Amino acid sequence: METLVILLAFLTATPATPEPKAAAAGPEFAGHWEGAIIRTLGRDEVDFTLDLEPPQQAGGVWTGKMSVVLTGAKDKPLDKVVVDDSTILFEEAVEKGHRRFQGRLSEDGGRIVGEYTRDDKKFPFELERRTRSRTPSQGELADLSPDAKELKQMFDQEKDSVRMILLLSPT
Amino acid sequence: MGARVVQRYVLDQIPDERLRLYVVWLPFHPLDIRDRAKEATLLLDDPRVRHFWAANLGLPEVYKAQLKLKDSVAWDVFLIYPAGATWTEPAPVPGRLMHNLAELPDAQRLDGLSLGKDLMQMLARQ
């Protein structure tokens, strides 16, 4: 709840004396972003990533691609990206409508927070600037014997650690 | 979805090297095959995580009995063990449990904020 209050305060805050911006405002939005739509904080969050590119020429438009882990959507081009000063609007067409994201860049340029809208539903979203160079650990998957002996062995070998066992479906 | 909550509120927030996660990917649904599990390892991307693929539901059946579940085997469950706990047959009783199951108490439903806080407290007590 506290985070939501801070988020709302941040979104509604207006600087008393806005600083003049350069004509080509917005290049700080360019790059790779990772975050989530927060349907219920800490419980129900939909991850997505965003890649934004500034206009390639004067009078051009911003472009972007979005990936959503939950749906399997990968680098889907956005239909609309509008950058204005420290705010951004981006939209993705979906069946029967659009997903709309309206956000604001943090002062340090490292975060975008805002509101996601689809139909009459609104949720906050957050994005953090990341680099794409992170090395994922895909492929490190060990087969577990029927008696789970590999897990038991590791559990006891690492008994000095705080441990979690997660039983999950991959779909 | 639970996996990403754990990534964001546990792995991304707690850099402590004394933390270990064992993720057992299981065939709960017809499309749950090993290749999908391999792709799903990306959802929990951290060197402190060990990923397993179990071709049968033996472990969830064990936890079903331990958690006194009636309707389903234990899946989408997050079992937490303090330092010092060792394996006891048929499976060690967790110090704390979180889940996304309808038949277990709402108070134990997966909450990333609460989970992260609990784990940090357990690590601080070591």
pLDDT in tens, B24-60: 999 988 889 999 999 889 889 899 999 999 999 999 9
Residue A132 pLDDT level (bands cut at 50, 70, 90): low
Residue A2 pLDDT level (bands cut at 50, 70, 90): low
Taking only the tens place, the pLDDT of each residue in A64-96 is 999 987 777 889 999 999 999 999 999 998 877
Task: Say if strands A80-84 and A73-77 run parallel, antiparallel, or are unpaired.
Answer: unpaired
CA distances from B39 to A130, A140, B54 (A): 21, 10, 15
| Interchain CB distance below 8 Å, A158 and B20 | yes
Asked whether residue A140 is domain-assigned, the answer is no
Residues in chain B with pLDDT values less than 50: none
| Interchain CB distance below 8 Å, B31 and A171 | yes
| Interchain CB distance below 8 Å, A168 and B34 | no
**pLDDT for position A94:** 82
Asked whether residue A31 is domain-assigned, the answer is yes
What is the span of the domain harbouring residue A24? 2-130
pTM flag (> 0.80): no
DSSP per-residue codes, A66-85: EEETTTTEEEEEPSEEEEET
> Smallest CA–CA separation between A170 and chain B, in Å?
5
Q: Lowest-pLDDT range, A55-69, A125-139, B111-125? A: A125-139
Average pLDDT over residues A100-120: 95
Asked whether residue A145 is domain-assigned, the answer is no
CA distances from A126 to A3, A7, B89 (A): 11, 9, 43
Average pLDDT over residues A46-70: 91
Torsion on CA atoms A110, A113, A117, A122, rounded to nearest 10: 150
**pLDDT for position A91:** 95
Average pLDDT over residues A116-142: 80
Given a contact cutoff of 8 angstroms between Cβ atoms, the answer to whether B60 and B50 are in contact is no
Q: How many domains does chain A have?
A: 1
**pLDDT for position A129:** 92
Check residues A38 and A131 and name the one with the higher pLDDT.
Answer: A38
DSSP per-residue codes, chain B: -HHHHHIIIIITT---TTEEEEEEE---STT--HHHHHHHGGGS--TTEEEEEESS-HHHHHHHHHTT-SSS-S-SEEEEE-TT----SS-PPPSEEEE--TTS-GGGB--HHHHHHHHHHHHHH-
Query: Is it the case that residue A146 has pLDDT exceeding 80?
Result: yes
3-state SS assignment for residue A160: coil
**pLDDT for position A19:** 40
**pLDDT for position B67:** 93
Nearest to A88 by CA among A100, A98, A76: A100
> Smallest CA–CA separation between B70 and chain A, in Å?
17
CB atoms within 10 A of CB A160: 11
**pLDDT for position A109:** 92
Token pair of A42 as six digits: 């800490």
**pLDDT for position A20:** 38
Q: What is the CATH number of the domain that holds A33?
A: 2.40.128.120
Chain B CB contacts of A154 under 8 Å are 22, 50
Asked whether residue A170 is domain-assigned, the answer is no
Asked whether residue A66 is domain-assigned, the answer is yes
CB atoms within 10 A of CB B53: 23
Say how far apart CA B43 and CA B37 lie, in whole Å. 10
Residue B29 neighbours by CB under 8 Å, 6+ apart = A169, A171
Token pair of A92 as six digits: 């993705």
Q: Is A151 on the interface with B (CB under 8 A)?
A: yes
Domain boundaries, chain B: 2-115
| Interchain CB distance below 8 Å, B42 and A137 | yes
Residue A123 neighbours by CB under 8 Å, 6+ apart = A37, A38, A39, A115, A116
Nearest to A153 by CA among A144, A166, A141, A162: A144
**Cα–Cα–Cα angle for A168, B89, B55, rounded to 5 degrees:** 35
Token pair of B46 as six digits: 């951290």
Sign of the dihedral defined by the CA atoms of residues B77, B82, B83, B87, in that order: negative
Asked whether residue A43 is domain-assigned, the answer is yes
